[in-house]
Amino acid sequence: MKQLQKFYPHFLAIFGFILISLLYFYPVLQGKKIYQSDIVQYTGMAKEQNDFRAEFDTEPFWTNAAFGGMPTYQLGANYPNDFIGKLDDALRFLPRPADYLFLYFLGFYGLLLVFRVDPLKAFFGALAFGFSTYLIIILGVGHNAKAHAIAYMPLVVAGFILVFKRRYLHGGLLTMLATALEINANHFQMTYYLLILLLVLAVYFLYKLVQENELKSLPKIAGTFVAAVLLALGANASGLMATKEYSDFSMRGKSELTFNPDGSKNTETASMSKDYITEYSYGVGESLNLIAPRLYGGGNSEKLGTDSHVYNYMLSYGANETEAQTFTENYAPTYWGDQPIVAAPAYIGAIVFFLCVLALFHDKRKIKYAFLAGAIISLLLSWGKNFSALTDFFIDYVPMYDKFRAVSSIQVILELCIPVLAIMGLQSFFKNSENQKKSLLYTAATSIGLVVLIFICKGAFSFSGALDGQIADMLSQGQDKTFGQGFIDALKEDRMDLFKTDLLRSGFFMVVTFGLLWFYLKGKLAQTTAVIVIGIFMVGDLFFIDKNYVSNDGKQFRSAREIDQPFEPTDADNQILKDNSVFRVYEIQGRLQGRTSYFHKSVGGYSAVRPRRYEQLFEYHIDRQLNDLGKIIDPQTMTLKKSIPIMNALNIKYLLLQTNDGESVAVTNPFINGNAWFVSELKTVNSADEEMKVLGKIDTKNVATVSGTEEGKLALPARFAKDSLATLKLEEHLPNTIKYTSNNTQDGFAVFSENFYNGWKATIDGKEVDIHRVDYVLRGLAIPKGKHTIEFTFEPQVVKTGSTIALVSSILMILAIVGVVYFEQKGKKAA
């Protein structure tokens, strides 16, 4: 009974998390699903693998539906012996996206318990963390893997702290399980950022060990971490090893080309260009959004209403109400920050910020400085190109930092650290009565003073957006030239109104918090009442901001069928689908999206880790040759008039185009090489540069390039006799199995219009043969004369090896858990 009473508050908290998660996304209770733009694209990308999985009850690990063919390692592949994945599924038992919101709450609640925060404060702290605007908005747009990884971060930190506190058994087990779940979430950018925070915490704890003369415990601490992390890595070995193998093949790998598509020298040393890495850099001034949401206009989707300056300006120019409203909604972007796209401001909450400052003044625990340092480092790195000295140093010298883009997302570390400090402040204020009044007054002066200072200095802000000039020019066409500028001036007034309104709003919440804590000091408010009221205001503040960006209306939540089948075929799609041969489709105006992959074998797709070499072929050749479509398309027959040899080699039989009136049309390419063909000449090249240049000049139907650096050892002849009657017939084409029959009177060399990747194996009449990389991205085989059966299979060894390691590691993890429980119970009985 005592044990039940001990856990009763935690059961209540968990029940509260479940209830709030479901109520916040209540349409899921009606069977609806959230529309997430990224997940819609993923649905298109993953359709072929999901259909194959359903039909054959096995995992393909390869898809032909995107980028000409790629592994499914980053498309939700199911690995054998993934027991951590099953544990994760059990924890995410709620319908999506309520499951991720519940994980946010649960993970942060666990971290606060490590700080010995009582359940009530920990409950509200967990809600404040989970409702942080950035964490909600990523659920709205479908960054599920990111949300997944963020949700487990607090538990990893909790285990890390416990081990350093010398609670080796509990800390080790929690670190092991939380790290395994974190890795299984499969968003290595978030995990990498977590490691930066752990490094900061490790420096603090090492300093503390030195201070306390406890360095003798360091080997035991290190041993616990090594064992926990090795088991966590081992349990995820399949995914980790597969991702490592694919990394160099993808855009995350270093380019071998030393020149750019325009012919200029490529001076980038990072895996991706610095411009690409830092495209999404948080503005320095924009960081103030953390304490007042719309100081920089909110998000890109923010709309002004009929009470705005822009609306009234349009009325004053003679527009009717409908016209004024249309212009206000469509041509008045409120966001004026540095980033190209912002779904919502990264608002952590005014009360959360106030309590964080309170912790800095009142909490005696020095660990607060470690979390403060983590928050500051996170903020500075999120500025990206706006703080290029630091960012360039990390890109050039910090291992793996150049593998990730959208540096602004490192603010997730700040969004973890600040709520931790906030609840530490709330906890210590009630626990430590020394200098309470002084700490509270200092906190009010600092936080409310900052709000007042920003308000007073509003004249120092320009309120000018990057697109304002273009909007003014566009609106002035055919109008009085002052019309466009007047429109922008009115828009700036609206931006200033948002700026002032949200500052006053944040100031109000801070004043309320100050008042409640002041009343507690004066004995006019009980501690529990003060905590509950502050908690309600703290969560309510975030709740109502979140609802501006992720709501429960019909746009955000839709029927299950609409989400599961998000694309409808166009007439052009239906025309192409009547062709039962095997070919590829290129949707020119939308190559980097998943819609085409939903219906066809596409040369495009939606992935930040798309195959690098395939991408380069389009950048350096195909897109440049398709620049002027009017000259190469016959409008009568809707066929290409000009042969583009590289496109022919990729078996692109159809182009999808958007007409001026928005209709989709299919253009046929009559010049394709087909699925496979014999060539008469192999042109040896000695570098990627040379191969890329040669590909623009050769007839791919008769000539193939082969790299001397990779294939020289195989001593392939330069020329082959090409029999005009020789045949290569495609018999079967599945994601992981492709079969051909060949008939040739001469020894020949065949090129197959399939992406080269090391995991593929080829056999001729059952005997394994070498696959050569030809034409930069494709596969080639030397085929002896006569009739033969050729089979390509994709059974990646990396998955087989990884699944064995995962099985052994999972068994060891279970034994470790059972062993800890057994010895604990034995110790209790002995006591």
* Predicted pLDDT at 47: 93
* CA torsion through residues 205, 209, 212, 214, sign: positive
Structure token pair of residue 717: 């002849």
Tell me if residue 232 falls in helix, strand or coil. helix
Summarize pLDDT for 816-829 with one digit per residue, the tens: 898 888 877 776 67
Summarize pLDDT for 353-394 with one digit per residue, the tens: 999 999 999 999 999 999 999 999 999 999 989 998 999 899
Between 540 and 7, name the one with better pLDDT.
Answer: 540
- Mean residue pLDDT across the chain: 90
Between 135 and 719, name the one with better pLDDT.
Answer: 135
Which range, 199-208, 316-325, 482-491, is most confident?
Answer: 199-208
Find out whether 708 and 694 touch, Cβ atoms under 8 Å: no
Instruction: Give the bridge partners for 557, in sequence order.
Output: 34
Between 711 and 510, name the one with better pLDDT.
Answer: 510
Find out whether 402 and 270 touch, Cβ atoms under 8 Å: yes
Q: Which of 807, 821, 817, 799 is nearest to 83 (CA)?
A: 807
Q: Can you give the three-state secondary structure of 154-190, one letter per residue? A: HHHHHHHHHHHCCCHHHHHHHHHHHHHHHHHCCCHHH
* Predicted pLDDT at 3: 63
What are the angstrom distances between the C-alpha of 617 and each of 61, 62, 774?
24, 21, 13
Q: How far apart are CA 254 and CA 632, in angstroms?
A: 34
Mean pLDDT value of segment 512-523 = 94
Mean pLDDT value of segment 779-802 = 94
Summarize pLDDT for 147-159 with one digit per residue, the tens: 999 999 999 999 9
How many distinct helices (H) and strands (E) make up the chain?
32, 20
* Predicted pLDDT at 271: 64
CA 363 to chain CA centroid, nearest Å: 35
What are the angstrom distances between the C-alpha of 463 and each of 281, 299, 530, 576?
18, 14, 39, 49
Between 204 and 478, name the one with better pLDDT.
Answer: 204
Tell me if residue 236 falls in helix, strand or coil. coil
Position of tokens 């089948």? 565
- Relative to beta strand 676-679, strand 557-558 is unpaired
Q: How far apart are CA 582 and CA 567, in angstroms?
A: 22
- DSSP 8-state assignment for residue 384: G
Between 714 and 396, name the one with better pLDDT.
Answer: 396
648: confidence class by pLDDT, cuts 50, 70, 90: very high
- Give the predicted TM-score (pTM) of the model: 0.90
Asked if residue 344 has pLDDT above 90, the reply is no
Asked if residue 270 has pLDDT above 70, the reply is no
What's the length of the chain? 831
Q: Name the H helices within 264-349.
A: 274-277, 309-316, 321-330
Summarize pLDDT for 447-466 with one digit per residue, the tens: 999 999 999 998 888 888 88
Structure token pair of residue 299: 């998000």
Which positions ≥6 away from 782 have C-beta within 8 Å?
A: 716, 747, 748, 749, 769, 770, 772
Structure token pair of residue 820: 């800890």
Summarize pLDDT for 577-630 with one digit per residue, the tens: 999 999 999 999 888 899 999 999 999 999 888 899 999 999 999 888 888 887
Mean pLDDT value of segment 100-115 = 96
Q: Which of 22, 151, 39 is nearest to 98 (CA)?
A: 22
Residue 445's H or E segment, with its range, is: helix 436-456
Mean pLDDT value of segment 278-294 = 90
Helix axes 367-382, 388-397, angle to 10 degrees: 100
Find out whether 344 and 549 touch, Cβ atoms under 8 Å: yes
Q: Render 591-623 in DSSP notation, one character per residue.
A: TTSSHHHHHS-BS----TT-BHHHHHHIIIIIH
Percent of the chain with pLDDT over 90: 61
Asked if residue 414 has pLDDT above 90, the reply is yes
CA 676 to chain CA centroid, nearest Å: 36
* Predicted pLDDT at 803: 94
Q: How far apart are CA 418 and CA 129, in angstroms?
A: 9
- Relative to beta strand 748-755, strand 778-783 is antiparallel
Q: How far apart are CA 342 and CA 679, in angstroms?
A: 50
Q: Which of 302, 174, 172, 184 is nearest to 236 (CA)?
A: 184
Alpha-carbon Rg for the chain, nearest whole angstrom, is 30
So where are the chain's domains?
1-29+79-256+797-831, 31-77+580-674, 278-302+341-467+500-566, 676-795
Asked if residue 712 has pLDDT above 50, the reply is no
Asked if residue 48 has pLDDT above 90, the reply is yes
Asked if residue 713 has pLDDT above 70, the reply is no
CA 9 to chain CA centroid, nearest Å: 35
* Predicted pLDDT at 472: 83
Q: How far apart are CA 272 and CA 253, in angstroms?
A: 8
Find out whether 709 and 686 touch, Cβ atoms under 8 Å: yes
Position of tokens 């992720």? 550
Which positions ≥6 away from 650 have C-beta within 8 Å?
A: 68, 584, 603, 617, 622, 753, 777, 778
- DSSP 8-state assignment for residue 409: G
Between 214 and 104, name the one with better pLDDT.
Answer: 104
* Predicted pLDDT at 709: 59
Asked if residue 710 has pLDDT above 60, the reply is no
Asked if residue 1 has pLDDT above 70, the reply is no
What values do phi and psi take at 507, rounded to 5? Answer: -60, -40
Q: How far apart are CA 656 and CA 665, in angstroms?
A: 6
Structure token pair of residue 444: 């009010």
Summarize pLDDT for 754-773 with one digit per residue, the tens: 999 998 999 999 999 999 99
Q: Render 97-154 in DSSP notation, one character per residue.
A: THHHHHHHHHHHHHHHHHTT--HHHHHHHHHHHHT-HHHHHHHHHT-HHHHHHHHHHH
